[in-house]
Structure 1
Amino acid sequence: MVDLGNYTETGNILGRTQPAISLQIRRLEDLVGAKLLHHKGKILEMTPQGHALIGYAREILRLNDRAVANFQQAQFMGTLRVGLPTDYAIAYFQRIIADFAKVNPDVTLDVRCDWSRSILNNLHVDELDLAIAITDMMPAPYVSLYWSERPFWVCGRDYQYSLDKPVQIIAHPKGCFYRKRMIDALDTEGREWRICFESPGITALQNAVLDGMGVTALTKKTLMPGMRVLSPREGFPPLANLHVGLFYKHVKVSDAALKLIEQIAEGVSAFRKPTFARS
C-alpha cells in the first residue's frame, strides 16, 4: 500500500475493499504495538516505526519471490519490460539479460536504456516491469536490493590542471547524480568550477576525459585504460556514495520477471555485496 500510495489502488490490486485493507493495517499495528501510517492531508505517509518495519517486509517479499523463481517449473512467456541506466555500468546487466533471453526464447524482451530518474518514473507509472537505477536515498519505493558505490574523480593520464583555475568538469546534463556530487564537493571546498563538456551518454564523457578536456566522476566499472584517479591530496575532495538498486513492484511481477530478477540478484552478488531493503 505504501508503494501504491492509497487504499483504493491497493484494494483493486489485491481484490479487497478499502475497509478490509484498513482493518488489516490496524491488525498489523496492534501486532507490532505501533502506529505505522498516518495521513498528511490526502497523502499517506509512514511513521518512523513504519519505515523500520517496511524494510523487513520487503526482505520477506524478496525471499518469497526468490523461492518462487527457484521452484517455478512453468514455461516462461510474455513480454518483459526492463529499464537499464545509461548512467551506470549498463554493459554488465545487458549480458545477464542477453543470457536470460537465450534460455527463455518465449519471453519477448523490451529493454529501455535511459537516465535513472526517467527509468524510475516509468516504473512508477507501470511502463516498466523491473529496473536497475541510481537514486539519492535508500531505501526507496519498489527497491528489492541495493548497494552503494563511491564515484572517483578521474582525468586523462596526461591531463594537466591548475588549482588556481576553475575545475573543468565533464558531466551529464542537470539532474545527474554524478554531476550533483561533483558540484557539491567543490562548493563545500570553495573551489571554482565550470561545465566544459556536457553529454547524456557515458561514452561521450569517457572520450572527453581521454581527450584531456577536463575531469569527471566515474565508478570502477566505468573506468577505462588511459584514465587516472585524482585524490584529495591533488585538490579533489571525496565524492558522496551513489546508491544503486533493483526495483520492481511485487504485487504486479510476472513469473518471467521473477526469474530474471533472481538472475540479476545473483549477478549483483558477484561484484557487489548487496543490501536488502531494510530501513
Structure 2
Amino acid sequence: MIEDIAVGSLPRALQRFAECHPNVALELTVTESTVLSEKLSQGQLDVAIGDPALIRGEPILTWRLPLRWVAARGFVLPEEGPLPLVTFDGVCTWRHKMIEALKGGGRPWRTVLTSASLSSIQSMIEAGLGIAVLLDLNIRANTMRVLGTEEGLPPAPVIELGLFAADHQGLSSRPVSALWAFLSEELQAQALATGRAA
C-alpha cells in the first residue's frame, strides 16, 4: 500500500487480521503506486491499495478522499509572491492535482522541498517551510492547521484510492479474503468519515 494509507487507519485492520489469523505471517510493502502495480502484475502481492491512475488493472473497490491544504500552526501565508509548496517526489498524481488547483485559482507557487517520505513532508510542514496537501488521517492536529478559501486558496483536490487483487482466485483464499475485507472496511469508514465515499 502507499505510505499515506499505511500510517493512517489501516493498522486497525492489520491488528484485526492478526487476531483472526494468528498463524499467518503478513508481509507489508509500503511504496508508491507504480511499484505496487509492477509487483501486483508479477504476482509478488496478493492485495494492493494505491492510486488507480497508476496501477494497471481494474480496482475491486474505489474511494474518493479529500485532500486538505495544511501548514504549521504559526505559518503565515505570504500576501504577495508565490506560495511555498512542500510536495511529494516521484510519480505523484496528487502533486499534479495540487498544482492544477493553484493554477485554476490563479495563485502563483514555487516548490521549496520535495520528498518521497510522508514523515519528511510532515516534518517540513511543521518546521514552517511551506504548505502541502495531506489526507485528514495524516494531519497532526497539535502542530498543523488546515487552510482554506478564507486564506485565498482554491478548493483542495480530491484523490481516488483503489483496492486491487492479484487475481480473483486469490480472494478465494480465506486469509487473503479476510485481509481484503478488513482493509475494505477501514478504507470505507475513512471515506464515510470525510463524506466522500464512492
Give the TM-score taking structure 1 as reference length. 0.62
- Residues 4-30 of structure 1 deviation map (CA, whole Å, 9 limit, x = unaligned): xxxxxxxxxxxxxxxxxxxxxxxxxxx
Does 2:47 align with 1:130?
Answer: yes
What is the distance in 2 between the residues matched to 1:122 and 1:245?
A: 15
Percent of aligned positions that are identical: 27
- The residue that corresponds to 1:268 in the other structure is 187
Output the amino acid matched with 2:126: L
Given that 1:89 and 1:221 are in contact with CA atoms closer than 8 Å, whether structure 2 keeps it comes out as: no
Task: Give the 3 Å change call, closer, same or farther, for CA 174–269 of structure 1 in structure 2.
Answer: closer
Output the amino acid matched with 1:240: P
Task: Give the 3 Å change call, closer, same or farther, for CA 268–251 of structure 1 in structure 2.
Answer: same
- The residue that corresponds to 2:177 in the other structure is 258
- The residue that corresponds to 2:35 in the other structure is 118
What is the distance in 2 between the residues matched to 1:177 and 1:90?
A: 19
Output the amino acid matched with 1:93: L
Shift of 1:142: 3.5
Task: Give the 3 Å change call, closer, same or farther, for CA 89–165 of structure 1 in structure 2.
Answer: farther
Does 2:143 align with 1:241?
Answer: no
Given that 1:86 and 1:116 are in contact with CA atoms closer than 8 Å, whether structure 2 keeps it comes out as: no
Task: Give the 3 Å change call, closer, same or farther, for CA 104–130 of structure 1 in structure 2.
Answer: same
- Residues 154-201 of structure 1 deviation map (CA, whole Å, 9 limit, x = unaligned): 111110121321111011114222211211112223332211111111
What is the distance in 2 between the residues matched to 1:149 and 1:135?
A: 13
Flag structure 2 segments of 5+ consecutive residues without an equivalent: none
Shift of 1:228: 1.2
Task: Give the 3 Å change call, closer, same or farther, for CA 234–177 of structure 1 in structure 2.
Answer: same
Task: Give the 3 Å change call, closer, same or farther, for CA 242–137 of structure 1 in structure 2.
Answer: farther
> Which structure 1 residue ranges, 4+ long, deviate > 4 Å from structure 2?
none
Flag structure 1 segments of 5+ consecutive residues without an equivalent: 1-83
Q: Aligned-residue CA RMSD in angstroms?
A: 2.2
Shift of 1:89: 5.3
Q: Which has the bigger relative contact order, CA under 8 A and spacing at least 6?
A: 2
Highest Rg: 1 or 2? 1
Does 2:87 align with 1:168?
Answer: no
- Residues 206-231 of structure 1 deviation map (CA, whole Å, 9 limit, x = unaligned): 11111100000011111112211111
Given that 2:85 and 2:110 are in contact with CA atoms closer than 8 Å, whether structure 1 keeps it comes out as: yes
SS in 1 for 2:61: strand
Give the TM-score taking structure 2 as reference length. 0.86
Shift of 1:148: 0.6
- Residues 87-142 of structure 1 deviation map (CA, whole Å, 9 limit, x = unaligned): 3353421331133124313222111011123212321222210011123499x723
Say how many residue pairs are matched. Answer: 191
Q: 1:205 aligns with which of 121, 124, 128?
A: 121
